[in-house]
């Protein structure tokens, strides 16, 4: 299972602290997930200032992906792709500019994926996958918001539904995922999980990352 640690910092100081913790145990080829939240699409707001984020990213050897949980993701994605991240996750609930996908992929040599709230946005996700050539998505197993929420088991149904329609679709699950859930998600065909609180609270994040990656 591919394990992707996440940061959802609301200040540059917290962002630096979380990156420093990840740097203490992640291999150099790891990917770090950044929650980018505007406080409108989501219940809380995170750091969105690219001029602060990009210099910190460039100090690390890692790849970064951004989950654009904002009302107008098309306004932020190009600059982030050009300066800070290699993969953008785009909420189907607010994104309709499907013609931009190929343009961004070509211009920034980037990877793009859709994201959707489990169960509530399944049909929107299926529509977006049908409208585009993308076969890559993230299923959000909690309401868009802060870390530490409880996993919604409806996400399991969402994974199954997407796999039934698009067997070749790569699926990431984010939100409330605990180590005990990872074998089940893998059996359903999930390719990666995003974890935040699990690493923040772990006494041995290096061993945890290694063990989970080998499930």
Encode pLDDT of 162-207 as tens digits: 999 999 999 999 999 999 999 999 999 999 999 998 888 888 999 9
Distance CA 162, CA 133 (A): 15
Domain 2-213 belongs to what architecture?
Answer: Alpha-Beta Barrel (3.20)
Single pTM value for the model = 0.96
Domain ranges for the chain: 2-213
Q: List Cβ neighbours of 178 (8 Å cut-off, separation of 6 or more).
A: 151, 198
Model confidence pLDDT, tens digit, residues 139-157: 999 988 777 889 999 999 9
204 exposed, middle or buried (CB, 10 Å; 0-12, 13-18, 19+)?
exposed
**With contact defined as beta carbons under 8 Å apart, do 16 and 206 qualify?**
no
* 132 pLDDT higher than 90: yes
């Amino acid at each position: 299972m591919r394990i992707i640690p996440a940061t959802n910092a609301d200040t540059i100081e917290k962002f630096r602290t979380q990156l420093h913790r990840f740097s203490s145990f992640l291999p150099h080829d790891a990917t770090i997930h950044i929650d980018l939240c505007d406080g409108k699409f989501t219940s809380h707001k995170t750091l969105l200032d690219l001029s602060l984020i990009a210099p910190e990213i460039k100090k690390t050897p890692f790849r970064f992906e951004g989950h654009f949980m904002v009302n107008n993701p098309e306004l932020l994605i190009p600059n982030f792709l050009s300066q800070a991240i290699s993969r953008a996750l785009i909420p189907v609930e607010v994104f309709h500019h499907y013609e931009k996908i190929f343009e961004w992929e070509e211009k920034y040599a980037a990877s793009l994926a859709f994201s959707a709230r489990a169960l509530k946005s399944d049909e929107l996700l299926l529509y977006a996958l049908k409208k585009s050539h993308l076969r890559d998505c993230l299923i959000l197993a909690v309401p868009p918001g802060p870390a530490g929420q409880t996993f919604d088991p409806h996400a399991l149904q969402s994974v199954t539904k997407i796999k039934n329609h698009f067997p070749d679709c790569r699926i990431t699950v984010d939100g409330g995922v605990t180590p005990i859930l990872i074998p089940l998600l893998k059996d359903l065909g999930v390719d990666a999980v995003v974890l935040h609180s699990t690493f923040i609270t772990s006494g041995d994040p290096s061993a945890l990352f290694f063990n989970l990656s080998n499930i």
